[in-house]
């Protein structure tokens, strides 16, 4: 029988009652999809849990301690029997409550069941605040923190932000990458942000961003893996950094295809890079492009003085305009000087041209293209303000004599009408600066004038216009297609990316993106912003009730036109019925002005007269002329001006007039400005540009038109630099007629222009079926 071995000695047990528990906090998350009765949809949500347990020696326990409960574990050759400390455990629970935790009453898969005492926080913001603010403090106090795989707030610190620019030589584009450095490696944020925008458009919309404080953060999950594990990195991105990135790179809102690490942009888009300077980025490459952006942003600080030979003192905003044009020329790009009428666009341009000559850069001719009616104005102002410029006017049959000697001149003038005829000769002439005055004349890019202007070759192209946008965004595209062909894409792409989303849907992000793209190349100043010395302008709606005969004819025409328009819309649709609609509205507008515009001069005497508006006008004129007022009277219809002339002659009231038929514009302007006559009749189309009539203190619009910009241009013949008297503007409106409806549509067109040019909120500017109902509504 084998000898029996002695039993091993039982480990000695030691009781210990002075060991404090070490708090152990497990953190976990679970994403579940649940049915939401209120919305009737399946909704995804996160559940987060914090599991509290207590470590005594090497053993972990949780839950409330039983009376005299002890924790045992073996330590080498002895067994420790540790008494739980309910008082210390309760103090730790109390600390959890002070941090905002409360006992979790529902089970969750965020942490294993019965693994700890479960706590939860009230919302996502509280969890983020806890992990950012309080968790580091718990670690310092000795708490053990165990973040389970998938815990949503297992955040990795962002070490730095970077930007990389790749600009291939001799290309019209560049690649931009923006990202963060995490764990020493660079991660592009562009695809991450694009994914967020697509999954949750409202999260990063312009409205949502505006409501976020810069100090708020967005928790973002990255695709990059860490240490070969399956757990993604998660970082916090401050909204203070996201706002300028998304405002600068609004292309992300427009991308229908996935974006890679880089975003490819047109070279002119480099003007927006200066908006990122506030982010303290680590830049790699793109020094030239960033310099381009900074110079364009800081042009008001450029050291530019007015040319010595300029016979005028530039106002501060005009000198600012000169700096802007000079900066554009230095950078080799063009722009739109979009100042209000009367702020001196011609003078600023002449200063720019004269400075180029004085600095020795005007080694070839410059060319200004303008409406025919502005030729005298440019000739006079050049002779007055910049007599040092040698000028040739390519107008009339006499222009042929100049073509053999064009290089002998500093400045050439031609017109939109003549440019297509002479383009074959001018296209081969290298120009220094090419200027389009009243550039809205090329708002139709397919017109002969626009196509001819596009063929001219110049070092710099400039557009001058007080109305960069009159009716729709396509006109703005046409200007920039001339200035920087291809930069806003072709017409089809522009309509898809901007015009339809903005005009039809009022999409704020598209509007913001368009304004940010054009802003560096569009200098737009309103009179109330810069010409503080201008006196007040008061607009007054003067309501007129139609005469009985006018009411009868209005209803007759309205019924006939309403039927015709509806039949046309039913046949061709609203968009293709514009000509018929405008023709119908024209007849209604003519009835409002005077019956004779519809029936002819042979109209029989009518009940209440042929025009209540004409009667009201004559009462106004007699009264205002007796007060010493100097009046400009505008009408769309030259035939209406002829009827007004008859009334003026019958009352022996002296006047002068300009219409499209007027050859000599200087004489009537001189007579009015010199005080020889108190009244100036002007057709809106002929007198909307090129006239300086500061002797006037009253403007009367006899009939309204769709385009508020055209009316404002006309008003600005009087309310402009040089005016010292308050200006009163009267608009004669036939009550409850199509004229009143036009006033309402005018406000919407003004909203469109303001939204793009002044970065206001977009509105709804399409002619809708409801508009047709209103325009052809019966008289009350």
Please give the pLDDT value at position 719: 66
Q: Is 734 exposed, middle or buried (0-12, 13-18, 19+ CB in 10 A)?
A: buried
Confidence band for 348, pLDDT divided at 50, 70 and 90: very high
In angstroms, what CA-CA distances link 616 with 522, 558, 637, 702? 42, 24, 18, 10
More confident residue, 599 or 735: 735
pLDDT single digits (tens) 56-83: 888 898 988 888 888 887 766 678 888 8
- In 3D, which of 121, 132, 280, 158 has the Cα closest to residue 216? 132
Q: What is the mean pLDDT of residues 164-178?
A: 76
User: And the tokens for 48?
Assistant: 């987060």
Confidence band for 748, pLDDT divided at 50, 70 and 90: low
Residue 606: CA count within 13 A, CB half-sphere: 22
How far apart, in whole angstroms, are the C-alpha atoms of residue 554 and residue 557?
A: 5
Confidence band for 353, pLDDT divided at 50, 70 and 90: very high
Confidence band for 765, pLDDT divided at 50, 70 and 90: very low
The answer, yes or no, to whether residue 411 has pLDDT greater than 90, is yes
Confidence band for 608, pLDDT divided at 50, 70 and 90: low
Q: What is the DSSP letter of 21?
A: P
- In 3D, which of 683, 687, 692, 697 has the Cα closest to residue 625? 697
More confident residue, 551 or 290: 551
Q: What are the residues facing 494 on neighbouring strands?
A: none
Question: Domains (ranges, CATH) in the chain?
Answer: 12-147 (no CATH), 160-297 (no CATH), 310-337+361-530 (3.40.50.10810), 537-775 (3.40.50.300)
- In 3D, which of 537, 551, 586 has the Cα closest to residue 705? 586
In 333-365, which positions are buried (b, 16+ CB within 10 angstroms) versus exposed (e)? Answer: bbbbbbbbbbbbbbbbbbbbbbbbbeeeebebb
Residue recorded with tokens 């990063």: 204
Q: What is the mean pLDDT of residues 145-157?
A: 82
More confident residue, 86 or 191: 86
Residue recorded with tokens 């990195």: 233
Average pLDDT taken over every residue of the chain: 80
Using a pLDDT cut of 70, give the percent of the chain over it: 83
pLDDT single digits (tens) 637-676: 888 999 999 999 999 899 988 887 777 778 888 898 888 9
User: And the tokens for 618?
Assistant: 């004559």
The region of weakest confidence among 178-187, 195-204, 259-268, 397-406 is 259-268
Q: What is the mean pLDDT of residues 336-350?
A: 85
Q: What is the mean pLDDT of residues 247-251?
A: 68
362 close to 313: Cβ distance less than 8 angstroms? no
In angstroms, what CA-CA distances link 240 with 179, 203, 211, 380? 15, 15, 12, 53
Please give the pLDDT value at position 282: 78
The answer, yes or no, to whether residue 49 has pLDDT greater than 70, is yes
The answer, yes or no, to whether residue 228 has pLDDT greater than 60, is no
Please give the pLDDT value at position 226: 53
The answer, yes or no, to whether residue 7 has pLDDT greater than 60, is no
- C-beta atoms surrounding 142 within 10 Å: 9
The answer, yes or no, to whether residue 427 has pLDDT greater than 80, is yes
Which of the residue ranges 246-255, 508-517, 535-544, 732-741 has the most confident prediction, judged by mean pLDDT?
A: 732-741
Please give the pLDDT value at position 573: 75
How far apart, in whole angstroms, are the C-alpha atoms of residue 738 and residue 740?
A: 5
Please give the pLDDT value at position 755: 52
Q: What is the mean pLDDT of residues 462-476?
A: 75
- Angle of helix 190-199 relative to helix 239-248, nearest 10 degrees? 90
Please give the pLDDT value at position 602: 46
Residue recorded with tokens 């809708």: 768
Cβ contacts of 190 within 8 Å, gap of 6 or more:
177, 178, 179, 249, 252, 259, 260, 261, 262, 263
Q: What is the DSSP letter of 526?
A: -
Please give the pLDDT value at position 749: 58
In angstroms, what CA-CA distances link 726 with 266, 526, 540, 689, 694? 47, 17, 13, 21, 11
584 close to 565: Cβ distance less than 8 angstroms? yes
Please give the pLDDT value at position 578: 73
The answer, yes or no, to whether residue 757 has pLDDT greater than 50, is no
User: And the tokens for 18?
Assistant: 């002075």
- In 3D, which of 488, 489, 476, 491 has the Cα closest to residue 522? 476
């Amino acid at each position: 029988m084998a000898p029996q071995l002695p039993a091993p000695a039982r480990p000695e047990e030691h009781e210990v009652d002075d060991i404090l528990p070490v708090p152990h906090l497990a953190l976990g998350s679970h994403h579940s999809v649940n049915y939401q009765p209120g919305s009737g949809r399946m909704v995804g949500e996160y559940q987060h849990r914090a599991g509290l347990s207590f470590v005594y020696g090497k053993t972990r326990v949780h839950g409330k301690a039983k009376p005299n409960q002890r924790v045992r574990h073996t330590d080498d050759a002895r067994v420790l029997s540790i008494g739980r400390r309910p008082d210390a455990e309760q103090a730790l629970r109390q600390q959890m409550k002070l941090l905002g935790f409360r006992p979790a009453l529902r089970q969750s898969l965020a942490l294993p069941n019965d693994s700890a005492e479960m706590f939860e926080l009230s919302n996502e913001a509280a969890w983020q605040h806890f992990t950012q603010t309080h968790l580091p403090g718990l670690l310092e106090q000795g708490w053990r923190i165990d973040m389970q795989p998938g815990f949503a707030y297992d955040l990795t610190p962002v070490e730095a932000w970077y930007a990389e620019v790749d600009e291939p030589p001799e290309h019209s584009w560049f690649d931009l990458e923006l990202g963060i450095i995490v764990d020493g490696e660079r991660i592009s944020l562009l695809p991450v942000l694009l994914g967020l925008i697509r999954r949750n458009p409202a999260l990063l919309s312009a409205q949502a961003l505006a409501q976020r404080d810069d100090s708020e953060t967005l928790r973002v999950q990255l695709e990059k893996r860490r240490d070969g594990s399956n757990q993604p990195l998660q970082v916090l991105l401050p909204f203070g950094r996201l706002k300028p990135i998304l405002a600068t790179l609004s292309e992300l809102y427009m991308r229908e295809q996935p974006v890679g690490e880089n975003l490819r942009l047109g070279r002119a888009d480099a003007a927006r890079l200066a908006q990122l300077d506030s982010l303290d980025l680590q830049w790699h490459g793109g020094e030239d492009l960033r310099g381009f952006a900074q110079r364009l942003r800081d042009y008001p600080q450029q050291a530019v003085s007015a040319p010595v030979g300029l016979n005028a003192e530039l106002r501060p905003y005009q000198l600012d305009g000169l700096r802007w044009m000079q900066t554009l020329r230095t950078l080799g790009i063009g722009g739109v000087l979009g100042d209000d009428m009367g702020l001196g666009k011609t003078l600023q341009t002449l200063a720019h041209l004269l400075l180029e000559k004085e600095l020795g850069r005007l080694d070839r001719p410059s060319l200004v293209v303008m409406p025919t009616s502005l030729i005298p104005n440019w000739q006079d102002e050049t002779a007055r303000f910049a007599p040092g410029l040698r000028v040739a006017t390519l107008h009339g049959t006499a222009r042929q004599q100049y073509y053999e000697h064009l290089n002998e001149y500093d400045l050439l003038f031609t017109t939109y009408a003549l440019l297509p005829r002479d383009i074959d000769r001018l296209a081969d002439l290298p120009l220094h600066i090419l200027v389009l005055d009243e550039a809205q004349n090329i708002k139709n890019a397919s017109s002969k004038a626009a196509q001819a202007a596009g063929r001219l070759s110049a070092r710099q192209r400039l557009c001058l216009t007080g109305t960069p946008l009159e009716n729709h965004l396509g006109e703005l595209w046409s200007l920039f297609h001339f200035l920087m062909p291809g930069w806003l894409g072709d017409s089809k792409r522009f309509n898809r990316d901007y015009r339809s989303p903005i005009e039809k849907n009022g999409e704020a992000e598209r509007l913001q993106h368009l304004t940010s793209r054009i802003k560096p190349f569009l200098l737009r100043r309103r009179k109330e912003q810069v010409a503080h010395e201008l006196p007040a302008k008061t607009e007054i709606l003067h309501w007129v009730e139609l005469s009985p005969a006018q009411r009868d004819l209005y209803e007759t025409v309205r019924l006939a036109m309403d039927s015709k328009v509806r039949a046309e819309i039913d046949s061709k649709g609203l968009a293709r019925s514009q000509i018929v609609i405008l023709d119908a509205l024209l007849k209604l507008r003519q009835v409002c002005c005077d019956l004779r515009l519809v029936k002819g001069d042979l109209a029989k005497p009518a009940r209440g007269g042929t025009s209540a508006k004409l009667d009201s006008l004559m009462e106004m004129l007699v009264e205002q002329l007796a007060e010493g007022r100097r009046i400009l009277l505008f009408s769309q219809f030259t035939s209406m001006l002829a009827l007004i002339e008859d009334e003026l002659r019958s009352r022996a009231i002296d006047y002068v007039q300009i219409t499209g038929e007027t050859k000599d514009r200087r004489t009537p302007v001189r007579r009015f400005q010199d005080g020889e006559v108190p009244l100036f009749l002007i057709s809106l189309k002929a007198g909307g540009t090129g006239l300086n009539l500061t002797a006037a203190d009253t403007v009367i619009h006899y009939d309204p038109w769709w385009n508020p910009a055209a009316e404002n241009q006309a008003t600005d013949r009087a309310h402009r630099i040089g005016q010292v008297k308050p200006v009163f503007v009267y608009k004669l409106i036939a009550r409850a007629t199509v004229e009143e409806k036009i006033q309402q549509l005018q406000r919407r067109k003004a909203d469109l222009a303001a939204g793009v040019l002044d970065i206001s909120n977009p509105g709804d500017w399409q002619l809708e079926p409801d508009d047709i109902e209103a325009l052809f509504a019966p008289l009350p």
